[in-house]
Every structure is written in C-alpha cells, then in structure tokens.
Structure 1
C-alpha cells in the first residue's frame, strides 16, 4: 500500500502544479514548470533506487505510442534537415517534452489501475477528478480576483506570470482577460473548459451543492478569459457527454427536457445580458464574433499561417520537416496543432496523433457495465472537445496544457506490458 500512497501523492502534487503554478522563463533556455521538475525528479529517483528497491511500472497503450513517437520525431528532424531549413541539434530538446508526458501518463495510469478491481478503479477515478475540479475552482478564484483587481494587486505578480498579457489586467483597462497562473487567457480558458467538463461528469454521477458552487466559479472564470474557442468546445463536449450519458429511461426523459430548458434559458439570458451595456462591453462583445468567424481578424491571421504551414507539408508529406523551433520566421505561428503535426511530422505523425487520441476507444473491448460505458463517453467527449480546440490552438505540444489533458487520458487505457528499474 506504500506504493499506492506514493502514487496518490504524486498525482496530487502534479494536479496542483498543472493548475496553480506558472512557467518560469529562463533567459536563453526553455520555460520551466514545477511539473517538469517533478517529472524529471521521478526519472532520476527511478534509476537511482534501482540497486536497493525494485520498482515495477505498468505501461499502457498510449505510453507505448509515446515511445514509438521518439523514433518518428528523430526521423522527421533528420528528414527536414535535408531541405536546408534552420535545423539544429537543439531540436532534440523536444525529447524533454516527450519524457515529461511519458512520466505523467505512467504516474496517473499506475495510480488509477494500481489493482484491477473495478470498484477501486472507479473510486480512484472519481476521487482524482474531484480533486482536479477542486484545484480548478481555486484557479477560478484567482481569475475572478484578477478580473476585479482589488487594491490593484495584479501589478504585483501578473507581469511575472504573463509578461505579454498583463497589460489587459492593469487598473483601468476596459476589457480584462484573466490568465490565472498559466499566463495566457486562451490556455487558462481551455483548462477551465476541461475541468468544467470533468465536474459535469461527476455531477451526472452524483449531485452535490458544493460541486455545483465549484462548477459555477469555474464557468465564470472561463467566461472571464474571453476565450471564444474554450467556450465553444466546452459546449460541444458538454452536449456530447449529456447526450451519450445513460442511466435509466426516466433519466433519458429528464435529459432531453433539461437540454430544451437550458437552450431556452441560455437564449433568453443572452438577449437579457446583451441589453446590459456593462456586461456586454466587458464580456459578450467578444463571443459575438463566433457567429461571423470569416470576418474576424484573429481568425484571418491564423488562416494565413495555416496556408504557409500547409505548403511545407506538401514539401515533405510523409515525415514532415521536423518541429524546427527556430523556423518561426519561415513558418510563422501555426496556431493549429493539426497543421503543426502535418508540417512537422507529416502524414505519419498526424496518423500517430489520431491514434494517440482515440486508441482507447479503438482497442477497448465492448463494455457492458453502464458505469464503465459512461466514463468511456466522458473521455470520448474530452478527446473530441480537445480535437476541436486543437484547430485554432495547441494542446499536445503546449507545456502548460498537455499535462492535465494527458493525465485525464490515463484514466482510460489498457495495459501493454510491465517494466522495472532493474
């Protein structure tokens, strides 16, 4: 049981670091996060203790896919260097990102599936999701504090957390965009959407007044980020989960009735809030752009970047031209993770990404137990929500977003093999 307690504490520390700690920028080097340091401390101790303690680790399907991607990334980097693009030996620092994801995935998977008892797996899943929602509600309180900026406290710490975004949070700015401790409003918005969907799943399994309060805070924080993509993907994920979730016939009737009532309520609330000039000027004006996306300047800028990246994909369609972090002046910002994978790792790398996201639904046997199917529906909703979010932004390749997403993916996977530090 000592191993189980260690794994539980590691998941607790990781969750806190994912949501409540910033990225520390080191001049001339990559940004460093506390979850990075913890991940590499685990690797160090894993091998250091090999002479005195035998540590066995279960490796699931997606972790195996990460190992395969190590080879694929090396091929893409080597292949891209033949085109005279700005490649460097430093491109191999991408393996730091892969090693971190690998460790996080193994820690959460080995905690959830410490034993094969279905009841214990369900209990640890729900407990982990509940803790994620709790920490997310703390992050939401930070966001709300940033929005209202009492005593102008933002000036003391926000410039450090968000050196390129803090200007919207200084005193007197008309439309602030909160950044939490992540440092970017869109990234913070995605994390709020992801944890909000996790809380909604818990609410469907068992209602709770305290959980409702937490979800309300997280929803308000998500709106305060003014991230249109986060709101859109949350709505899609919530609808998918709500439609797929099954309990009994009475629940089905209530489910569709509730969807109808919520739809009418949200429409009425939007009309009412739109007439409120203060709320409209603070928040709603930005979300109206979703209705006419082709005229939105932000979308048009992204679209031009996609075209350039696609051109380099056609140059090397099989393996891509590598991540090439120094190729920013050539490619511009991809602002689309699918396009980034096509350009960097080609069709093979994009196929790998699809397999990484959807493998647990492809290789899992038909599940008969309704409570297990419902969790499958939840993780499918998370993956579809994230897949759509990856159109205007990055998740897998983002050091501040990939960790929590990968941790939740680890709740639903299948073991491949076991290895030890011997």
Structure 2
C-alpha cells in the first residue's frame, strides 16, 4: 500500500512583496457565500527526461514565488468573511516522496488512489481553520519509478474552477518563461465591483461527508463518441440545435444515474440536476475569485430523461438563465444566487428528488499543464465528500471529455455496469508498463 514521506515543507511568499496599496482585497458576495472547501487539482507526469527532482522543485518554488506577486490574495488570509488580508504570509509547499510506482495510481480502477499526491490530513474535505488557514497549498510528489505529481489545493473562498486554472496557466507560463522575464500576467481581484459584498451573507450549509462510503471513478468519452451522441440526438429531435459536447455528456451520465436509482427502488424518482454557469462574460475574463451562478433542470417523469429530451431541457434552462442575467442588476443577482442556495438546502431536506451536481472545467486548459517536462498523463481531482457529483474535464487530446463521478459505493457498483454507459464511455485506467 502506497505511503508518503514529507522531505520538506516550506512557506513560499510573493516576490517582490505585495505593495501596501493591495493589502486589502474585498470579497464579492459570491466569495462570501462560497463553501470553505478547497479546490484540489492534480497532474501526473511520466519520468522527466531532462530534469532532476531538485531542478523541478527549484523551478516550482521560484516561479510560485513570482506568480504569487500577481496573485497576491492567494498568499494572504481571510478575515471575517469580508476581505483577504494580503499580508504575504504565503502558500505552503510540500516536497514528498511516494513509495510506490505511479502505475499503481494510474491503473487503479478507482480515482480515490489519487489522494496520495495531496497534502495529507488536510485538504479538499476540510474547512479553513486556525491550524490550516493557508489559501493555497502545493505538493510536489515523486514516485519510485521517477514519475512526478504536482497538486494544488486552493481555497474556494478566493477562487472558482476558472480562477484555479487561470492561476495554473499563468504559473506554468512563469515557470517556462523564467529566463526571459517578460511574462506579465494580469489577473484582477475586483469581483466585489461586479458582485458587491453583502452585510449579512447567509451561512453556507456545512459540507458533511455522506454517512455512506463514497467512491469516485473517471470515465472517458472520446471525440468520436461525442460526435455519435450528438448525431443521434439531433436525428431523433431536429429541434435541438448544435448540442455541445458537455450537454450530451452530461445528459448521458445523468441518465445513467437515473437508471441506478430505478434499479435500486424499482420506481422512478423525480430528479434534479444543478449545474454551475461561469459569469465570464459578461464579467471580464481576467476577474478572479468566484463568478458563477447555479441553474437547475428537473425531470418529473422517466420520459423526460431520454437523451434528446434532457439535452433540450439543458439548453432551455441555460437560455432562460442568460436572459434573466441580462435583466438583473447586482442586487437582483445576489438575491437570485442566495435563493438558489436556500433552494438546494430545502429540496435536500424534503427528500423528494434525487439531486445531482455538475461542474464543467472543460476549455480551461486542464490538458495543457506543462511546466516544461511534458504534458500530463492524467489531470484529476479527488472525490467530493458528498455523493452524486459529476466533474467534467478535457481529456489529454483536448477534444474528448473525462468525467469524474462520485457516488456511494453501492451506487457505483450498479453505475459501472450500466450498458448504456459502457457503450459510450470507457474507464480511465492506464499503466506505465
């Protein structure tokens, strides 16, 4: 069984120091209402040919210090859920040895094995605390085979998925451009201008791990498979125009979840899927922090869960939200977001619907996390502490989709044998042998 040994732990501070004019960074209302979990992202690489571990660590440390000057809130601390004190306390950086072959991680049928490359006793499932108040934690992992893992845990209070990958992309550019010294990223921490903070934000419900054991698996839908799904859906319902790869993938995975529910109970339960929408644009693309809102789709009968029907509902829900957003001022947007959060809590308590949550990180460049020693073999996250979560990422080609699915252990046993799933998707399992 794989175990890890911490070789070193450092605090990386911004260089040069953050100017006093940037010391105080207000949170937006979306930051205020964001949960206190961490966003965990890991990239795994085969053994670098032209870099030693010492060289890799030096590159990461030096470039992280430089990029934190531009992403100065990530080296600060949250104060009273109102602002970030950009005090240059810094980010945590771990250098860790993993005493196993990377193939043991990549060939494991469950994605849960990836947890070994994240800081232990911390990260993705815990809230900010006095003991662990760092907003950014990085770990460099190296395996017995020479393979390398790089993981980050970034507080959801200061970043959404878009911001996390923008930070990663700029950090990579800084690392690769280190000798030229002409790279100037331009993130803006001005979300409070577009989504003004509120005096009494509603308390976010604590994310309590499900009492049932959850597990995660990753499945791939290739570009050719997605094209076949699109063609099939459009031929069945010509009213559906240009379905996106995310829409068809989401419809398939959600339908397979419904199949699991029916196979357990023998009856159809109404189902609701919440999806995260990025608000950039209309908010500027370089605005960091949380700039998202939720929308939902409901299927009250089984005929509404067919792929054409569900894709149509997804498109309709997105169009309706975009139309509403154009008519909302910032106060109305805040009210809308808060009502959605309350709605989730109320619906969960009523236990009428099977509830699923979906986030897409596609097009954010997850397949391009190349610090200078090649493209990653796999980019992934850890499982969410609660069930029925679907996370979509670009696959290594950039054309297909990898979807990370977190379900209860019992549901996963049924899900992974679903015939429709296996017709269009394949488990992401690979070996370095």
- TM-score, scaled to structure 2: 0.26
The answer to which structure, 1 or 2, has the higher relative contact order (CA under 8 A, 6+ apart) is: 1
Name the one with the larger helix percent: 1
TM-score (norm 1): 0.26
**More strand by percentage:** 2
